[in-house]
Amino acid sequence: MSKQSKVLVLGAGGQLGTAITKICGNGGPAVTPLRRSDFDADRHEPAEMLAAYADHDYLVNCIAYHKVDRCEDNFAESFRINGELVMKLARFCAGHDLTFMHISTDYVFDGVKKEPYREDDLPAPLNVYGASKLAGEMLAAAYCPKHFVLRVSSLFGEREIRPAEVNFVEKMVRAARENRPLRVIDNQVMSPTFTDDVARVIRFLVEDDVSGYGLYHACNGGECTWFEFAQKIFELTGLENDLTPVSYAEFHSYAQRPQFCSMDNSRLGRLYPMRPWAQALEDYLQTRGYLARSR
């Protein structure tokens, strides 16, 4: 890194934005975190509001409309934030020579494949959220040649704004402490991913000035069902809970969701290997002070 790169982060108050601000800020590139109070895509035009940051080298977009069930009834809103906004940000980046880093999702897939999804697998979203995120991926690539699209999945990490809006790990820990029995899906497979590890990928891409632009699966290694994930959380924390496996069908979710979303991260791994999800989970539990003392 010849000079210190400047990284603009949108959606910085959210889960992933919080991690990027922390990990990059800690001796890495200079980060300018913009929270919704600084840049509100519902009220501000990107080209106008972001003009003051045109001297930055990277723009990382963590803003999304990602309440999956709500997206079904809010088609226009989903495509405005997950599609149109992304196009405007990509144009802004191309116009001012910033590298655009956009965050996407495993939900671009239909989940019928029997082995981990690679970047060259054909997307086939099952719901409005996935379709709008796929539109965003395509618009990022179409409007900004210097782009990275990082697909992440089933995130867990700390959140600066509204920390009470908890991730799956926190929900499990809280339920166990309150002695609340839990029903968890045992036939939906995914690759749980620690936000700090995605942030480390972003820091690496910036610090090494990587120019291998394109699409990457930035997920922790391996796969599990939500039930297996919950079991691992209880094993590592030493907490006990009445955990019942249930099927995806029994949950009657409003939006259809892919049932198999194991993500192959080997393309990214040739540049920056991401560790297995269980190691990342242990690290997260350690930082939260939840690890069992005997470990």
Ligand X SMILES: NC(=O)c1ccc[n+]([C@@H]2O[C@H](COP(=O)([O-])OP(=O)(O)OC[C@H]3O[C@@H](n4cnc5c(N)ncnc54)[C@H](OP(=O)(O)O)[C@@H]3O)[C@@H](O)[C@H]2O)c1
Applying CB under 6 A, the residues found at the interface with ligand X are 11, 13-17, 36, 39-42, 62-64, 66, 81, 103, 105, 152-155, 159, 161-162
Instruction: Kindly tell me which of 3 and 162 has the beta carbon lying closer to ligand X.
Output: 162
d(CA 18, CA 20) in angstroms, rounded, equals 6
What φ, ψ does residue 102 adopt, rounded to 5°?
-115, 140
- Smallest distance from the beta carbon of 102 to ligand X, in angstroms? 8
- Smallest distance from the beta carbon of 37 to ligand X, in angstroms? 8
Instruction: Kindly tell me which of 155 and 233 has the beta carbon lying closer to ligand X.
Output: 155
163: its two tokens: 């920390």
Instruction: Kindly tell me which of 29 and 33 has the beta carbon lying closer to ligand X.
Output: 33
CA-CA distances (angstroms) from residue 62 to 20, 186, 195? 10, 29, 11
* DSSP letter assigned to residue 184: E
CA-CA distances (angstroms) from residue 259 to 66, 72, 107, 256? 18, 18, 10, 9
Instruction: Kindly tell me which of 1 and 45 has the beta carbon lying closer to ligand X.
Output: 45
Contact (Cβ atoms closer than 8 angstroms) between residue 107 and residue 125: yes
The conformational region for residue 253 under phi > 0 = left, psi -120 to 50 = alpha, else beta, is: beta
- Smallest distance from the beta carbon of 192 to ligand X, in angstroms? 9
Contacts of 72 (CB under 8 A, 6+ apart): 127, 128, 129, 254, 255
- Smallest distance from the beta carbon of 72 to ligand X, in angstroms? 15
C-alpha closest to that of 75 among 5, 31, 135, 25: 135
Beta bridge partners of 276: 221
Measured from each CB, the residue nearest to ligand X is 14
18: its two tokens: 């919080």
Contact (Cβ atoms closer than 8 angstroms) between residue 226 and residue 188: yes
Instruction: Kindly tell me which of 35 and 56 has the beta carbon lying closer to ligand X.
Output: 35
Instruction: Kindly tell me which of 193 and 237 has the beta carbon lying closer to ligand X.
Output: 193
- Smallest distance from the beta carbon of 187 to ligand X, in angstroms? 19
- Smallest distance from the beta carbon of 171 to ligand X, in angstroms? 12
- Smallest distance from the beta carbon of 12 to ligand X, in angstroms? 7
Instruction: Kindly tell me which of 40 and 242 has the beta carbon lying closer to ligand X.
Output: 40
Q: Which amino acid is at 107?
A: Y
